[in-house]
Amino acid sequence: MSKVTMTVNGRATSGDVEGRTLLSSYLRDTLGLTGTHIGCDTSQCGTCVVHVDGKVVKSCTMLALEADGAVVDTIEGQANADGSLNVIQQAFQDHHGLQCGFCTPGMVMSAAALLKDNPKPSESEIRKYLEGNLCRCTGYHNIVKAILAASGQDVSVVAAE
């Protein structure tokens, strides 16, 4: 067992991990941050997406030890300081961008990373960016729409509210 420390959602954390412990397991099992999900074992589904030192990362592809000393942000830290939903979260609710909710944390974290780099992405850019995030419920329609809306773009032309 080795000790790791990292700043998660602005709070200092530490825990003992095995060499094989994944960052996703550290977040879920050691810290109890179960908003980060595990939906596959081949780094395809994107339900485990978090930010590590500002970069978008699938936390199932990273060992907890590799994140030692890092700043990690997860879905639990995304809401506004007063607890209200942030712009992206609110857009997902406003535009029904989630159904079962399982892919949602990863989608929101990926969307946040996209909009940081590309504040006004086109529909096509959003769809391409989300190729690492699978959703089985929404057919992606309202996820793409929500991200367009979160970026301040007019979505009234998108069919079917």
Partner 1 sequence: MPKDTGIGASQKRREDVRFLTGAGNYTDDINVSGQAYVHFVRSEVAHAKILSIDTAKASELPGVVQIFTGSDFEGVGGLPCGWQVTDRYGEPMQEPPHPILAQEKVRHVGDPIAAVVADTYAQARDAAEAISIDFEELPAVVDMSSALDDGSVKVHDNLKSNLCYDWVLGEADDTKIQEAFDAAAHVTTLELTNQRLVANPMEPRVAVGDYNRASDEHTLYTTSQNPHVIRLLMCAFVLGLPEHKVRVVAPDVGGGFGTKIFHYAEEAFCTFAAKACNRPVKWTSSRTEAFQTDAHGRDHVTKIELALDDANNFTAIRTHTHANMGAYLSTFASSIPTWLHGTLMAGNYKTPAIQVNVRAVFTNTVPVDAYRGAGRPEATFQLERVIDIAARELKVDPIALRRQNFITEFPYETPVALAYDTGDYHGTMDRLEANGDFSGFAARRAESEAQGKLRGLGVNCYIEACGIAPSNIAGALGARAGLYDAATVRVNATGSISVLVGAHSHGQGHETVFPQVIAEMIGIDESQVEIVHGDSSKIPFGMGTYGSRSLAVCGSAMVRATEKVINKAKKIAAHLMEASESDIELKDGTFSVAGTDKSVAWGDVTLTAYVPHNFPLEDLEPGLEETAFYDPANFTFPAGGYACEVEVDPETGHVSVERFTAADDFGNVVNPMIVDGQVHGGLGQGIGQALLENCAYDESGQLLTGSFMDYAMPRADDVPFYSVDHSSQTPCTHNPLGVKGCGEAGAIGSPPAVVNAVIDALQSGGHDVTHIDMPVSPGRVWEAIQK
Alpha-carbon 62 to chain mean position: 15
The count of residues in the chain is 161
Q: Does 16 bind partner 1 (CB under 8 A)?
A: no
* Residue 8: strand pairing partners: 11, 72
What are the Cα distances from residue 117, in Å, to 42, 50, 111, 120?
Answer: 26, 16, 10, 9
Stretch that binds partner 1, among 51-59, 65-73, 87-95, 114-122 (CB under 8 A): 87-95
Nearer to partner 1, 101 or 152 (CB): 101
Q: CB-based burial of residue 94 (10 Å sphere; 0-12 exposed, 13-18 middle, 19+ buried)?
A: middle
Q: Does 8 bind partner 1 (CB under 8 A)?
A: no
Least distance between partner 1 and beta carbon 95 (Å): 9
Catalog residues that contact partner 1 under the rule CB under 8 A: 18, 20, 28, 33-42, 44-45, 47, 74-76, 78-79, 85, 89, 92-94, 96, 98-105, 108, 123-124, 126-128, 130-131, 133-145, 158-161
